[in-house]
Amino acid sequence: MSPPIPDSSALPGGLTFTLRVASLNVWNPGPDKTQRNQGLAAALRERNLDVVLLQEMDGTAAQFDLFRRVAGFSHGVRSGDVAILSRFELTNFEAPELPRKPSLTPIRQLLNRRDVYFCIAAFQHNGMRFHVSSHHWDNRQLVNRKTAAAATAARMSHVPADTVILCGGDFNTHQETDELQRVMKEGLLNSGTPGDFIDFILYRGTGIQLLKQTLERFPGLTDHPMLLSEFILVGSRPAVA
């Protein structure tokens, strides 16, 4: 489900802070890949983001460093083809390797194949703790998405109630499917409008309210939309220096 968007003029009293979170699948084949990466990273920088969840990275340090540097982030973590960029220091990094049933492509017919479906980190912002994860689930094998969903839900179930969850990425499945519903049953809400989408930013937490989500496309740079969810942190307080 998606919650109603609050009227910012009617928010409870006390200090409020915003948090701008984007999710973007950056897959962009072709001979001008570096130029396309630079274009996407520059677009991220222009949007004054706090946290960015990236998917379908090529797995190299060079591409990750390009995005982190050009997009203007001092902190970041990566594993496999998923990454997180942040204005805030990231801790408790985790990227579990999970079993993957091989596809029919001969080169991928490997025994005991294991891959990363998501990576997780934590950060602090204005007195609140956040659990953030970037996801790229399989678009071929249903059994692989079930594996990713089970592992994701298991980790969400252990996140303390006073910690905000931000869970986003390319899930390669729709909101009503059993796989994504298994995750959302941990109390997560969709920050966007339900529809024929496979990219989501989900969230959960006391003291966080969705202000709006926008969707933007970058033709020629990637075939996925960028999701940008802006949240209000109600009653949060500046971190003690």
CATH of the domain at 76: 3.60.10.10
- pLDDT band at residue 125, thresholds of 50, 70 and 90? very high
Cα–Cα distances in angstroms (integers) from residue 147 to residues 37, 51, 118, 143, in the given order? 30, 26, 11, 6
Tokens of 103: 């596809």
The answer to whether residue 108 is domain-embedded is: yes
Domain assignment of residue 158, yes or no = yes
pTM of the model: 0.89
Task: Assess if residue 239 is contained within a domain.
Answer: no
Do residues 36 and 30 touch, judged by C-beta distance below 8 A? yes
Whether residue 28 is predicted with pLDDT greater than 60 in this model: the reply is yes
User: 34 versus 12: which is more confidently predicted?
Assistant: 34
DSSP state of 158: T
Q: Are 113 and 147 in contact (CB under 8 A)?
A: no
Residue 1 lies in a domain: no
**Count of structural domains, the chain:** 1
For the stretch 177-233, pLDDT in tens is: 999 999 999 999 999 987 779 999 999 998 899 999 999 999 999 999 999 999 999
Domain that holds residue 166: 14-234
Q: Is residue 229 part of a domain?
A: yes
Name the residue with higher pLDDT: 30 or 173: 173
**What pLDDT does residue 111 have?**
57
Looking at the domain assignment, is residue 8 inside a domain? Answer: no
In a domain, residue 115? The reply is yes
The residue ranges of DSSP E strands in the chain, in sequence order, are 16-25, 51-55, 75-79, 82-86, 91-94, 97-99, 114-116, 118-125, 128-136, 163-170, 189-190, 199-204, 208-216, 226-234
Average pLDDT, the chain: 89
Q: Is residue 240 part of a domain?
A: no
